[in-house]
Amino acid sequence: MKKFNTILVIGAHPADPIDLAGGTMALHKKQGDEVVQIALTDGCRSHGGEGFSGALKRDEFKEAGEKIGIKKEDSNVLYFKDEPLILSEEIIEHVVQGIRSIKPDIVITHHPEEYAHWDHAETGKIVCRALKSAIKLEGNKHFVPTVYFFAVQFRPESARIGAVVQPPDILIDIGSVVDKKVKALYCFASQGHNNNTILYKRMNSFESEMGRADGLQYSEGFILYMPLKKKYLPINTDLGFYNKEK
């Protein structure tokens, strides 16, 4: 019987997996799960600058992964171009091969309708197509039973274009590993993240706001792609905000 799970996190740019699921990945590594993170591009056009090459951003990605327990060989940046990242048969087939090789139980990626960054939404579409192709195309087929999207659709860009905001289906309490996430994000000097004061300020706004109304100090949110299949309705045993002692 399988004891541990394998989780594959796919982002558009190197900082995305850590930025949006770093705490969750750290928790799963802590309990013994296998965690692999992939960036489809090196992000040089989106988050680069003078002196920041693709090779340097790949090093940042691997170093950041190590801060939360991910082995260097399990942090990989592909060689597709960003800004714009374009959906193509080539990139879909590349992601299909990754899924079939890694055989994840869980995949986490961008929502296809996320408007924080256009490359993010395109990544979501690419991964969704690859998930289906992984069970349709000839070869070593693999079905991923559980898929989550990063729950970041409430960003201002959504409001600007009138996109409907979808709330998270699940919140992961990352309070015990928030320091690890900060250390991992600190590795991304190419994105100006090498400032602890700014990073903790961000934790106290973005990660804190995500779960504030539900009684969590720091959390990461996720949206289910497919509903969970259960015989009976599951019960939420954590009453969150309403479970506080008076």
| pLDDT in single tens digits along all 246 residues of the chain | 456 899 999 999 999 999 999 999 999 999 999 999 999 999 988 876 666 788 999 999 999 999 999 999 999 999 999 999 999 999 999 999 999 999 999 999 999 988 768 899 999 999 999 999 999 978 889 999 999 999 986 566 666 777 777 889 999 999 999 999 999 999 998 888 888 888 999 898 888 888 887 888 999 999 999 998 999 998 887 766 666 554
The DSSP call for residue 229 is P
Q: What is the DSSP string of 55-113?
A: HHHHHHHHHHHHHTT--GGGEEEEEE--SS----HHHHHHHHHHHHHH--SEEEE--TT
CA distance 60 to 49: 14
Contact partners, residue 184, CB within 8 Å, separation at least 6: 18, 22, 26, 64, 65, 67, 68
* Domain 6-243 = CATH 3.90.700.10: no
Tokens, residue 234: 């599951």
Q: What is the pLDDT of residue 1?
A: 45
The beta-strand segments (E) located in the chain are: 6-11, 34-41, 75-80, 106-109, 146-150, 170-173, 219-224
The number of CA neighbours under 13 Å toward the Cβ of 160 is 7
- For residue 138, the model assigns a pLDDT of 82
CA distance 37 to 71: 10
